[in-house]
Amino acid sequence: MKALLIAEYRQGKLLESTYELLAFAERLGAEKAFFFIGAEAEAPHFDGKVYFAEAAKYGEYNPDLHKRLVLEAVQKESPDYIVFLHSSYGWDLAPRLAAALKIAQVSEIVGITADGFEVPACNAKMRRLLKPVTAQAVLTIQSGAFSYQGEPGGTPSLVPVELADSASRIEFIGYEAAEKKEVDLARAEVIVSAGRGVGKKENVEIVAALARALGGELGATRPVVDAGWADHSRQVGSSGQTVAPKLYVACGISGSIQHIAGMKKSDFIVAINKDKDAPIGEVANVLVVADLLQFIPALLARLSK
């Protein structure tokens, strides 16, 4: 069994998350080769074949050209699996590649069993076990689900891939950094975060009051930030900040995969939620099943004593 692992490269650097693909392929027991569009010096540390194209020529972001380059590598390598991270890069490329080759795609794999690949469904409340019917398949793996242990090493043997015609419909203008920060959550020892369960903007203040009482900072989930109830610098999760404070209190947060990815390494996690089955319960050391609007004021009264 052969796996072609699609490395990620951004702002002139190989992304560390690339090595999660290696961990996944090792779990599969597959023979491994990388595909990498970047700068030669940044190629993955790996004793094996790395299909390589210059980002200087094909861009860091260009799904049209990158798809065609992956297709070139697939033709040379004939892998059973073409493996991406379930990331902004994989979202763009994986389905296009699967459709171009008319082969199965399985998205956001979190586990491997003898009967198929395990993926989350229904906002992580359920799982599905899926099996590709086609001989080849495109796979994307959830970030953090397969962690690479140790220091990657080795010397890649580069196999160049090229396109005769590099005309493209897509013009990449550049990157925009996140807006300037109101707070640096990475430095907070205690973070108390508000999720959609707070209901409305005014109620964020109740969560902020708990943050102050615990000597911590206010955090928030993506929907709360998108609604304009909290500043973007307070967003915890894969599209915001990844944090690992001593104490994390999740208030009215159901626990989307993206949010949990950003806070699961906290030393101690408390969740306050009406829904006992909310996925946040899976990572919480303590889950308080309660309406936060009643519970937090009662808690504050006791903490101030």
Query: CB of 184 within 8 A of CB of 243?
Result: no
CB of residue 121 to another protein, shortest distance in Å:
6
Choice between 54 and 92, CB closer to another protein: 92
Residue (33 or 225) nearer to another protein, CB: 225
| Long-range CB contacts for residues 234-238, cutoff 8 Å, separation at least 24 | 234/182, 234/183, 234/185, 234/193, 236/185, 236/191, 236/193, 236/262, 236/263, 237/261, 237/262, 237/263, 238/143, 238/262
Are the CB atoms for 3 and 128 separated by under 8 Å? no
Shortest spacing between CB 8 and another protein, in angstroms: 9
- SS3 of 34-58: the string is EEEEECHHHCCCCCCEEEEEEHHHH
Measured N-to-C along each axis, helices 292-303 and 201-213 cross at an angle, to the nearest 10 degrees, of 30
How buried is residue 170: exposed, middle or buried, by Cβ count under 10 Å (0-12/13-18/19+)?
Answer: exposed
CB of 256 to another protein, least distance (A): 9
**The one-letter amino acid at 236:** V
Residue in this structure with the two tokens 């995969």, named with its chain if needed: 257
- Shortest spacing between CB 154 and another protein, in angstroms: 25
**Min separation Cβ 77 and another protein, Å:** 20
Nearer to another protein, 123 or 157 (CB): 123
Nearer to another protein, 133 or 164 (CB): 133
- State the nearest-atom distance from the C-beta of 223 to another protein, in Å: 7
Residues pairing with 53 in the sheet: 37
Of 32 and 136, nearer to another protein (C-beta) is: 136
221-257 burial code (b ≥16 CB/10 A, e <16): bbbbbeeebbebbbbbbbebbebebebbbbbbbbbbb
Least distance in angstroms from the C-beta of 299 to another protein: 5
In the complex with another protein, which residue's Cβ is closer, 7 or 269? 269
3-state SS, residue 69: helix
Per DSSP, the three-state class of 247 is strand
- The residues that bridge with 31 in the sheet, in sequence order, are 2
Question: Of 155 and 285, which CB lies nearer to another protein in the complex structure?
Answer: 285
Tokens of 66: 């990158």
Closer to another protein by Cβ: residue 73 or 97: 97
The residue among 165, 205, 179, 168 whose CA lies nearest residue 293 is 205
In angstroms, what is the minimal distance from the CB of 32 to another protein? Answer: 23
